[in-house]
């Protein structure tokens, strides 16, 4: 058994190293610009690995993200390339906005639509330009700006001591998000940020059991980002009024239950009118 384990791990690490080198090389050649489809390949798992380790997908996907962070284009070394990115200020610019194509090991390939819902404050760098108005990483009550943001995500579930704007928003690069390991995350890849805590939801989302697909059921898979349905600052969906109920069938009448919270039942109108 031990020899088997050794060979297995040696093969695994060899494959991982090869993959890192390969992707580092491929990213050094890639350039990002508007209107161009940007492929970000985050896959470094071979078929043999997938067969052997299908049970430990969770752990592996975490590992992959760690390793991939080294090769991602938002690394400090590739500063010049990142500056090529420009964001739409309204949805009118969406057709020209690059659509990201992401591959993960084992996950079906998918595309993410650029954000349809954009914040009124975006671009952040218009005010927070790095010189003035430096965002303070101190937990406090906001009084002048950003007062209309509902911060339930901080208050209810996580406690105000641990969480602040700067936990997720990058202070050094205002138009980007920041992960727990201080890596910059693009706004259109917010699933990498959310998945740091909500890993089960992330996994379901990547495979299609959570979230929403649009357009087609076969062919190219396009799915909506987390932030299309969940407000990142208060993620729980708020109660809303439902559409009107169907009328009861002809000749029937809706009757209240004898129990205070019981369901209403349909009765024959004729019989009901005789009894009451």
Partner 1 sequence: MSEKNNPAKTVETPENSDVSRRELFKKTAIAGTIAAAGAVSTTIAASNVESGGLSDALDEFFQKHYQEMSKEEMQKAIARLERKAKEKHGKEIHIGNTPPLEGVLFGYALNISKCKGYRKCVDACVAENNQNRDTTIQYIRVLELENESMNFEEADHYYDRETVPHTGKKYFPIQCQQCENPPCVTACPVEATWKEADGITVIDYNWCIGCRYCAAACPYWARKFNWSEPSIPEEKINPETHYLSNRPRMRGVMEKCTFCLQRTRKGKLPACLEACPTGARVFGNILDPKSEIRYVLENKKVFRLKEELNTEPKFWYYSD
3-class SS of residue 100: strand
Nearest in space to 13 (alpha carbons), one of 92, 78, 93, 67? 67
State in angstroms the smallest separation of the CB of 147 from partner 1: 25
214 touches partner 1 by CB under 8 A: yes
Terminal CA-to-CA distance of the chain, rounded, Å? 80
State in angstroms the smallest separation of the CB of 255 from partner 1: 10
Contacts of 136 by beta carbon, 8 Å cutoff, 6+ apart = none
Closest to partner 1 by CB, 35 or 263: 263
Interacting stretch for partner 1, rule CB under 8 A, among 64-72, 115-123, 258-266, 268-276?
Answer: 258-266
Sign of CA dihedral 30, 33, 38, 44: positive
Interacting stretch for partner 1, rule CB under 8 A, among 20-28, 35-43, 129-137, 263-271?
Answer: 263-271
Closest to partner 1 by CB, 117 or 212: 212
For 36-159, where are the alpha helices, taking DSSP H only? 47-52, 57-71, 79-82, 152
The single residue among 59, 229, 270, 271 that binds partner 1, judged by CB under 8 A, is 229
239 touches partner 1 by CB under 8 A: yes
Show the tokens assigned to 61. 């996907």
215 touches partner 1 by CB under 8 A: yes
Sign of CA dihedral 98, 182, 153, 124: negative
258 touches partner 1 by CB under 8 A: no
Read off the DSSP letter of residue 93.
Answer: G
Residues contributing to the site for partner 1 (CB under 8 A): 108, 204, 207-219, 221, 224, 229, 237, 239-250, 254, 262-264, 266
């Amino acid at each position: 058994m031990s020899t088997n384990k050794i060979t297995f791990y040696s093969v695994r690490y060899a494959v991982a190293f090869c993959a890192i080198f390969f992707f580092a090389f491929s990213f050094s050649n890639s350039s990002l610009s508007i209107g161009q489809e940007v492929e970000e390949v985050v896959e470094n798992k071979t078929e043999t690995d997938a067969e052997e380790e299908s049970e430990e997908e969770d752990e592996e996907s975490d590992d992959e993200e760690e390793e991939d962070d080294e090769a991602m284009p938002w690394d400090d070394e590739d500063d010049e390339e990142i500056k090529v990115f420009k964001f739409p200020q309204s949805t009118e610019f969406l057709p020209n906005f690059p659509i990201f194509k992401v591959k993960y090991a084992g996950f079906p390939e998918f595309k993410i639509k650029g954000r349809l819902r954009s914040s009124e404050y975006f671009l952040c760098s218009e005010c927070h330009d790095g010189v003035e108005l430096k965002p303070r990483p101190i937990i406090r009550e906001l009084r002048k700006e950003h007062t209309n943001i509902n911060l339930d995500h901080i208050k209810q579930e996580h406690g105000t001591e641990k969480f602040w704007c700067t936990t997720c928003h990058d202070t050094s690069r205002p138009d980007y998000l920041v992960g727990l390991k201080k890596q910059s995350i693009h706004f259109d890849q917010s699933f990498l940020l959310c998945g740091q805590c909500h890993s089960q939801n992330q996994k379901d989302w990547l495979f299609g059991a959570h979230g929403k697909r649009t357009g087609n059921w076969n062919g190219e898979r396009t799915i909506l980002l987390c932030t299309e349905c969940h407000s990142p600052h208060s993620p729980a969906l708020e109660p809303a009024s439902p559409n009107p109920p169907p009328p009861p069938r002809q000749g029937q009448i809706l009757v209240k239950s004898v129990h205070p919270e019981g369901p209403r039942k349909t009765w024959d109108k004729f019989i009901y009118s005789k009894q009451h």
